[in-house]
Amino acid sequence: MSNLDYAAKQLNKIRNRIKDATKAVGRDESEVELIGASKMQNHQLVRDFVTGGLGAIGENYLQEAIDKRQHLQDLTLDWHFIGHIQSNKTKLIAENFDWVHGVDRLKVARRIAEQNPRPEPINLLMQINLDNEASKSGASVTQAPQLCDQISQLENVQLRGFMVIPKPRESSAEQAAAFAKAYQLLAQTNQKYGLTMDNLSMGMSNDLEAAIAQGSTMIRIGTDLFGARPA
Ligand SMILES: *Cc1c(COP(=O)(O)O)cnc(C)c1O
């Protein structure tokens, strides 16, 4: 099988999962954007997927992403930063990405706003640490609403919603409960502060169906799209 055939087949598989998952809960498949989580994957493979119709990729590591961008400059592609944000890296993040998923502090949002070199606002998603895990970044459920209010007042960025990575759970019912919590927090925060955040970045290879059932608008898929990550 050629690489382009492989990319087409893999994209088709994920698109079918999106179709089935949205249909099961009466949503339209166009409400869920596929983001290829392309960390560790080489630029040639990513190019084949973009040729096959992938319109957005998410990268975790800044230097790797910048290298990849140089190889993929000719493509029409939305760039999402989905990794941990170090505050001394915000300038490079602002210069290279259309969406930033891991915002969890006012300072980081403010720096990205100040360092945005383009006339359009950069889209931000606040990472929520749903399970209060010490190993994960993200704003706590209790701090998040007020932080959203503050970030939404900045110029040159637009706060578009939340990103969550819940801890692995035994059952799909438990996965669903975690995603439902993110959905409710978004609705409550919008209502409390009169905001219009409209995105939930949630769902990966193993839990995209549960995430879509609970209102996900962006799924970040690595393994089940590109294949296993090279070591
Ligand atoms: C790697 C990664 C993904 C993709 O994970 P898979 O299980 O391979 O689909 C999604 N989101 C983030 C933040 C990641 O780091």
Residue of 165, 161, 180 lying closest to 133 (CA atoms): 165
pLDDT in tens, 13-47: 999 999 999 999 999 999 999 999 999 999 999 99
The residue whose CB lies within 8 Å of the most ligand 1 atoms, and thus the one to mutate among 204, 206, 212, 219, is: 204
Could you tell me if the CB of 204 is within 6 A of ligand 1? Answer: yes
Give residues with Cβ within 8 angstroms of 148, minimum separation 6.
126, 159, 189, 193, 195, 197
Q: Which of 105, 74, 110, 106 is nearest to 94 (CA)?
A: 110
Mean pLDDT, rounded, for 126-144: 94
Whether 172 has a pLDDT exceeding 90, the answer reads no
- Give per-residue pLDDT as tens, 136-161: 899 999 999 999 999 999 999 999 99
**Residue whose tokens read 């502060």:** 193
Cβ–ligand 1 distance for 60 under 6 Å, the answer yes
Rg (CA), the chain: 17
Whole-prediction pTM: 0.97
- Regarding the beta carbon of 189 and ligand 1, being less than 6 Å apart is answered no
188-228 per-position pLDDT tens digit? 999 999 999 999 999 999 999 999 999 999 999 999 999 99
Q: What percent of the chain has pLDDT over 70?
A: 100
| pLDDT in the model for residue 169 | 84
**Residues present in the chain in total:** 231
- Distance between CA atoms of 115 and 133, rounded to whole angstroms? 30
State mean pLDDT over 158-169.
Answer: 94
Residue 35: its pLDDT value, please?
Answer: 98
- Position 66 scores a pLDDT of 98
Residue of minimum CA distance from atom 6 in ligand 1: 222
